[in-house]
Structure 1
Amino acid sequence: MEGPVILCLLWAAGVLGTPATSSEIPTEAHPPPVINFSVSVKNLCTIYWIWSPPEGVNAKCELWYKSHLGEEKMVSKNNFRIEEVALNERICLQVTSQCNVESTNTSDPVEMCIEPPQGDPETAVKRLQCIWHNLSKMNCIWLPGKTAPPDTKYILHYWYNTLEKSLQCTNFYVEGQFNGCSFDLLEKDVSSSDKIQIMVTDTTGAIRPSYNIINLNNVKPDHPILTNLSLQNASLYVEWESPANFRSNCLVYQVEVNNSKSMEHKVHEPKSKCHISETPPEPEGNSKNKHCFVIHDVDPDAPYTVRVRAKASRFCFEDNDLWSAWSQKKHIGQNHDSKIHTITLLFIPVAISISTLLLLLYLKRLKIIIFPPIPDPGKIFKEMFGDQNDDTLQWKKYDIYEKQIKEETDSVVLVENLKRTSQ
């Protein structure tokens, strides 16, 4: 109790003076605003805002800067801010200065904006999206703008951190209504935190440029390669090779099994590996990332059809449900209807061939019945007049012969008569 008593005595004697009230405590002053505020764009979508500290700041003031980009706020001692933003809209950054990280006494805001690209927004491409295929190739597709000329020749530029400057995509293609372009992007060249900056425009500048920031989470692997099926002790073993470029824990799989006998269809998601004892080990240094899944209690007499697909695991990438295509189907088991099916397939073309031959013969005969051959008029007239001419000639020959005989006979008679008269 001696301390408070001594303080009260000192205040009473006027040594310490009277304590200050709350209204008499000096408040923190507002610092002046920042100066030399500027903005610039590098690469394709990297925006640099930079400013200088305000002038005339109290020496006791430890300057901090609060910047507002839309609804996103950031407090930092840095006198700059760098953001990757798609430049399709007007983008503004507001900056204020303050003397404490949690201070509410801030300077007046200073704003600097980036204007959107010039051109009719209806000409810009729509629904621009990119998928990272098998960690090796980036495929980007888009729809043409509503008022874009139909003969537009598009240009796609891309950039990521390890590139010194943006590059132009050259492998263009068309998928239905979509236009697209693909470029190489290997996993070793980027990290999971990197982003790909994309800009699509045209060769003539007739359409408005369109920008996009692509996160490396839209990953679609190639389909697995189904290598082996085997039946062992009423269990079906399925073995496949995973797509290249992926670590073993970065993919999940689905195994589709169809029983043709019972018409049963099941899709399994393997959670653990199995081992096929009959499979010989791979030579050292030549092994591939193989996986195996076993399905128990199967019908050994039933025919099965199996295929596999994969997608990126959430342990390595964001779960975007982009499954690969299904692998080629493999069959195992005896199909009791296979012989009948084979015989039927062989019988059908033979039956069709015989039927076609019989039909051709029948049509030929039917044609003769319906359209009998027409006699040749020339031949008929030739036969008619040819016979008469022959008979006429024969009659003429007969008359001449008779005349010759008659004349000769008469001549002989005449000679004999003359001889008799002379005697």
Structure 2
Amino acid sequence: MAPCRLPVLPVALLWVLASSSSSPSTVAPPRDLQITDPGLLGSLDVEWRPPPHIQTFNECTVKYKFEYRSTGDRDWKVIFTRKLKLRVGFDLSRSAEVRLQTLLQGRCTDDVEVHSDWVYATFQTSPQGNLESEVQNFHCIYHDWEYLKCTWQPGLLTPHGVHYGLYYWYQGLEQALQCGHYIQEQGINVGCVLQNLSQAEYQDLNICVNGSAAATLLRPLYTTLHLHNLAQPSAPEQLVLSLSAAQELLVAWSPPGGRAPPHCLEYEVQVAEEDAGEAAAAWAIVSTQMETALTISRANQSHVSCVRVRGRTNIFCADQGFWSEWTQACFSVSRKEDKQLFILIPVILSLSISLIIFMLIGQCKKRREKSRGHWVSASVLGCRGHGKQVQPRWVPPGFGI
């Protein structure tokens, strides 16, 4: 399958717009503005020649105001340069538009900036294949700042036996490269894993997903990615909960492993509290922060507190990012009633054991006396003391009264 470099229309639609000012410009516009495709999946080369007789303005600085956009974009991107060639990125599924003017300022203009009329140029690839043959649901995630995983689904009008290929390019590569590790379903490439992309961070990563099938042209998909906006870190590590002397919940964790820069991460902390015997409460956000520790007040003095934490790239390192998975832990706190009960239980057990021991000792003494005989008084034996004290008499075991 041929790489994603399609036949292009020759440079076209080059013209000069007449000045809307009533007085003519004092400097001419650039000449021979043209756009060419070096086959870098959306990075186009734009070059021009300086205006005629520019060398006569040797007491002034000559520079150019360059603006560009893809058809449909509302705003123009602006570059001020003294160069005569630029390489800028476009969405090749749409037309590329550029405009350029000369800026002159210095002693020759009494330090007043003078600008020329605009010159314009456009560029468009020749349409190929039905629009519905383009892959669908293209989605990428930069996992842990270590590898990029992109997935897609075949287009609606995909013939049998289709073969998809992903090509990519970023500044520093001499040419576009093809994916070396595809993800397949039923023998069809539906994804790609790209590694070693650290040099592509914070710059344009041009992607093209092209398809081929016997005697059928398929519409290629072009897109430009920014890895820092697609980053998804791993879940935070070593989440620990403890209770302070003031009955506050202390939460601490560590940044995730991998290549995710710790200073580029922010964390969301949620808490759910419940009383014993009740259903678990809903999770509530308590903080979004860059620090890896937090103190949470326990206003309702709940019996069980559960905390979960997740992370993503913060606004200082990306415009957006994907949240990680949750790290979760729970902490059970004894209530006042439970503490009182825990104190009473040992006391009750001690008293019960002591009572049982005393009863056992009493029973043992009775059994010992019964086995040795017993004492009876003289009156029981029928003796008369006649006023004298009669001593009790010992009756051996086995003798009745």
TM value normalised by structure 1: 0.57
Of the three residues 207, 213, 220, the one matched with 2:232 is: 220
Would the aligned equivalents of 1:128 and 1:212 in 2 still touch at CA under 8 Å?
no
Whether 2:212 is the aligned partner of 1:200: answer: no
Name the CA distance, whole Å, in 2 between partners of 1:272 and 1:30.
53
Q: How does 1:223-262 map to 2 (within 5 A)?
A: 223-233=235-245, 234-244=247-257, 245-261=259-275
Question: After superposition, what is the alpha-carbon deviation per residue over 1:113-153, rounded to whole angstroms, capped at 9, x for unaligned?
Answer: 23245222221124434332221122223343232236533
Amino acid at match of 1:268: V
Where 1:249 maps in the other structure, the secondary structure is helix
Amino acid in structure 2 at the alignment position of 1:77: R
1:124 equivalent to 2:138? Answer: no
AA in 1 matched with 2:155: G
2:293 partner letter: C
Please tell me whether residue 133 in structure 1 is matched to residue 143 in structure 2.
yes
Q: Is the 8 A contact 1:258 1:264 kept in 2?
A: yes
Aligned to 1:81: 86
In structure 1, distance between residues paired with 2:103 and 2:329: 69
Per-residue deviation, 1:183: 1.5
How far the C-alpha of 1:299 sits from its partner, in A, is: 7.0
Relative distance call for 1:171 and 1:269 in structure 2 (3 A) is farther
Q: Which amino acid aligns with 1:247?
A: P
Distance 1:164 1:296 in 2: 57
Deviation at 1:42, TM superposition (A): 4.0
Q: Taking structure 1 as reference, are residues 201 and 51 closer, same or farther at Cα in structure 2, changes over 3 Å only?
A: same
* One-letter amino acid of the counterpart of residue 231, structure 2: V
Please give the residue correspondences for 1:341-380 in structure 2 after superposition, counting only pairs within 5 Å.
none
Output the CA distance in 2 between the equivalents of 1:232 and 1:56: 79
* 8 A Cα contact 2:134 2:218, kept in partner: yes
Q: In the alignment, is residue 331 of structure 1 matched against residue 330 of structure 2? A: yes
Cα distance in 2 for partners of 1:127, 1:149 equals 18
Partner Cα distance (2:33, 2:333) in 1: 82
Q: Which has the higher contact order (CA 8 A, sep 6+)?
A: 2
Letter in 2 for 1:45: G
Q: In structure 1, how many angstroms separate the alpha carbons of the residues matched to 2:329 and 2:35?
A: 64
- Kindly provide the amino acid, as one letter, of the partner of residue 229 in structure 1: L
Give the whole-Å Cα distance in 1 for the aligned partners of 2:176 and 2:321: 30
Separation in structure 1 between the aligned mates of residue 217 and residue 44 of structure 2, nearest angstrom = 25
Partner Cα distance (1:33, 1:228) in 2: 65
Equivalenced residue count is: 286
CA distance in 2, matches of 1:239, 1:37: 58
The structure carrying a bigger strand percent of its residues is: 2
Q: Report the RMSD for the aligned CA atoms in angstroms.
A: 3.7
Q: 1:254 to 1:29 in 2, by over 3 A?
A: closer
| Amino acid across the alignment from 2:307 | V
Name the structure with the higher helix share: 1
The whole-number CA distance in structure 2 between the counterparts of 1:83 and 1:214 is: 14
Is the aligned partner of 1:304 residue 2:286? no
1:266-309 CA distance string (max 9 Å, x none) = 33216486xxxxxxxxxxxxxxxxx3333233677713333221
Q: 1:292 to 1:171 in 2, by over 3 A?
A: farther
Distance 1:302 1:203, change over 3 A: same
Deviation at 1:88, TM superposition (A): 0.8
SS at match of 2:132: helix
Choose which of 117, 134, 139 in structure 2 pairs with 1:106.
Answer: 117
* CA contact 1:39–1:114 (8 Å) conserved in 2: no
Alignment of 1:395-414 (within 5 A): none
Aligned to 1:269: 287
Alpha-carbon shift at residue 159 of structure 1 (Å)? 1.9
Q: 1:31, 1:99 within 8 Å by CA — same for their partners in 2?
A: no
User: Is 1:184 the counterpart of 2:184 in the alignment?
Assistant: no
Kindly provide the CA deviation profile for residues 310-364 of structure 1, in whole angstroms up to 9, marking residues without a partner as x: 121112222x26321212x33332799xxxxxxxxxxxxxxxxxxxxxxxxxxxx
- State the alpha-carbon separation in 2 of the partners of residues 147 and 272 from structure 1: 47
Runs of 5+ unmatched residues, structure 1: 1-25, 274-290, 337-423
How far did 1:180 drift? 3.0
| Equivalent pair of 2:231/2:322 in contact (CA under 8 Å) | yes
**3-state SS of paired residue (1:269):** strand
Supply the distance in 1 between the matched residues of 2:65 and 2:210 (Cα, whole angstroms).
Answer: 35
- How far apart are residue 93 of structure 1 and its match? 3.2
Give the deviation of 1:77 after TM superposition: 3.3
User: Which residue does the alignment assign to 2:365?
Assistant: none
8 Å CA contact 2:64–2:102 kept in 1: the answer is yes
- Tell me the residue number matched to 2:158: 148
Identity of aligned residues (%): 23
Q: Residue 303 of structure 2 aligns to a residue in which SS?
A: coil
CA distance in 2, matches of 1:47, 1:114: 11
Instruction: Find the structure with the greater CA-based Rg.
Output: 1
Counterpart CA distance in 2 for 1:89 and 1:118 is 13
User: What is the SS of the residue equivalent to 2:263?
Assistant: helix
Distance 1:147 1:237, change over 3 A: same
